[in-house]
Structure 1
Amino acid sequence: MSKKKHLVVLSGAGISAESGIKTFRDSGGLWEGHDVMEVASPEGWRINRPLVQDFYNQRRKQLLDCEPNEAHVILADLEKDFDVSIITQNVDDLHERAGSSQVIHLHGELKKAQSSLDPSLVYDLDHWEIKDGDKCEKGSQLRPHIVWFGEQVPKMEEAATIAAKADIFVVIGTSLQVYPAAGLVEYVAAETKIYVIDPKRSDVNFGRKVVHIIENATNGMKTLEKIIKSEN
């Protein structure tokens, strides 16, 4: 029995948008009516902690009403034929809920909390609200387990190692404007075929031949599934 090819997927907000989760980069830098720096930066946390906590509490509450869409499901089903690794910029759990078993969250996870003083202390949440006074075992206030602007991306090195081992690399739902995540493409081996699924043709210079599938996430995944299964 031949070894399964390693399919590595870099996913972004565009795949979750089809499940009803709003993005911020298509609306002038606003996220649910807030400037992203107010709710997604250490400075925002220091200036107005209640606003930041409430913002992510509402995002968690919204997530309860969202379901994985067909693009998520197709990616999970591809594990039958491929060794699938998903590197996502998304903080929702829709890939996992669709059935994907190998998911790396570059920008954190909405359904987790972390110590505001020690980022290595991370906790699963079984509810949607983090309240003022909820503390870790060291006594510091819990904050969202989100990588904010200006913070290090702790899983970047692991993601780069995975990208370098891809037999097939897929970019879906991301404009590749957010670094360091966008730089993962640079780690992909020269002989590895890259597919980009986006309703708008990417203007990113990949410096190599790329197959563009100019469709939304769901239709693009249907097209990709046919292509890679026929070639496998």
Structure 2
Amino acid sequence: MRRKKIYEGKAKVLFEGPEPGTLVQYFKDDATAFNNQKHGLIAGKGVLNNRISEYLMQKLEEIGIPTHFVRRLNMREQLIREVEIIPLEVIVRNVAAGSISKRLGIEEGTILPRAIVEYCLKDDALGDPMVTEEHIAAFGWASPQDLDEILQLTLRINDFLNGLFLGIGLKLVDFKLEFGRLWEDDQMRIVLADEISPDSCRLWDVATSEKMDKDRFRRDLGNVEEAYQEVARRLGVLPEAGPVDIKPPRVMQ
């Protein structure tokens, strides 16, 4: 099938959807780290992330979190609503790890006194720099009202996912969210966009503190595919046939 490509990112491709206001989100096996300085392939990652993100988006919808997700189409693709992406990465930290440990000298694994929410500008060329609410308001990336709504949604998502992952023996160390503006009949609402998967979350085994996420790729720890499969297995969404490959649709010239 030939489809018009709208956008290609590091881990996903967006194609024109079957009806107005929709897109098809295709999950790739590509893995990147350190702002694309490190690149590789994780066999079956796209299949697993598609299933994991579908499951988590549906669970969040059930508690009233609006998302761009419509339905899964096949092993690697989802139908999503087209949204105007807000150019911010919203990072939630429950446990010190990664950049916050380096920046502030906090030992990795330290439980933070409260969930810390950080904002980064989505700009690969600049290395996704951290920004403050002052920057966001001054440069018009989001209005104060948008930001209030984003923060409220983010804290609710964190509470819910913390409990969900704890129930399957995983600690939600930190994670990244993206939001978009959904326009319907001249009405705008903020919705959760992008994906939630081991690509965008740090997940540690509660008993062993073993890393079950993309840090296994970042830090050359090995068994990356197995870690993603284990997260999917614990969530109960491991594909029956295993990570079967599906070729991307041919792109219209």
Alignment TM-score, normalising by the size of structure 1: 0.28
Q: Which structure is higher in helix share?
A: 1
Q: Which structure is higher in strand share?
A: 2
